[in-house]
Amino acid sequence: MKIVKLTMTMLLAVSLIACGDEQKKDENESKVSIGSQTEEREATPENTEESSDDELGLVELSLEGSDQMKFNKNQFKVKAGSEVKLTLTHTGQMSKEAMGHNFVLLNQGVDMMEFGERAAGAANNGYIPEDAGDDIIAHTDMIGGGESASVTFKAPEKGEYDFICSFPGHVALMKGKFIVE
Ligand code: CO
């Protein structure tokens, strides 16, 4: 029992260190390696997918969109400068025309709702405004039920970014935070 207790205490200590701030980065002894690169969790609205920094370089993130007009995650956390590959899968049955989903990562300062309105007018371009320019950091193609699409990009500088689905009306429900640490 004593050993189990000790292990628990150590785990707690490790968790606390892992949650500590960036200054820990320079102290080799306190560097904690977190087994897998990405972590999948239950499909709840409060889901977060968090990547740890490791030597693999490419951070693979997954996101699902459903016929209920919902993403299965509302937050991602990655390290600044990571190479990110995000794969969006449409787990529903509905067509791209009726229930299309994409992943659009917006730059800071871009208003989600305003962008959504502009995107709604860009049906002929997969609901990506032709003049989006720097407003978009990365986006996938628009997909329908049973399809998936990936996009690879370099994580932008530290900060919080919004991600949305730019299909008309979907930004109201399909949105989340992309946090770069
Ligand atoms: Co959508």
Are the CB atoms for 75 and 63 separated by under 8 Å?
Answer: no
Bridge partners (DSSP) of residue 48 are 75
159-164, strands of its sheet edge to edge: 48-50, 75-78, 175-180, 159-164, 104-106, 136-139
Angle ∠(57,59,61) on CA atoms, nearest 5: 170
> Could you read off the pLDDT of 142-179 as tens digits, one per residue?
999 999 999 999 999 999 999 999 999 999 999 999 99
Distance 102 CA to ligand 1 centre (A): 6
Residue type, position 112, single letter: M
Confidence of residue 34 (pLDDT cuts 50, 70, 90): very low
pLDDT at 141 over 90: yes
Quick one: tokens of 92?
């529903």
Distance 11 CA to ligand 1 centre (A): 40
pLDDT score, position 76: 98
Confidence of residue 41 (pLDDT cuts 50, 70, 90): very low
Distance 61 CA to ligand 1 centre (A): 18
Q: How far apart are the two ends of the chain, measured CA to CA in Å? A: 38
Are the CB atoms for 166 and 117 separated by under 8 Å?
Answer: no
Distance 63 CA to ligand 1 centre (A): 12
DSSP 121-167: T-GGGTT--TT-GGGEEEEPPPB-TT-EEEEEEE--SSEEEEEE--S
Distance 84 CA to ligand 1 centre (A): 21
pLDDT at 11 over 50: no
Confidence of residue 47 (pLDDT cuts 50, 70, 90): confident
**Backbone angles phi and psi of 13, in degrees to 5:** -60, -45
50 versus 80: the higher-pLDDT residue is 80
Distance 99 CA to ligand 1 centre (A): 6
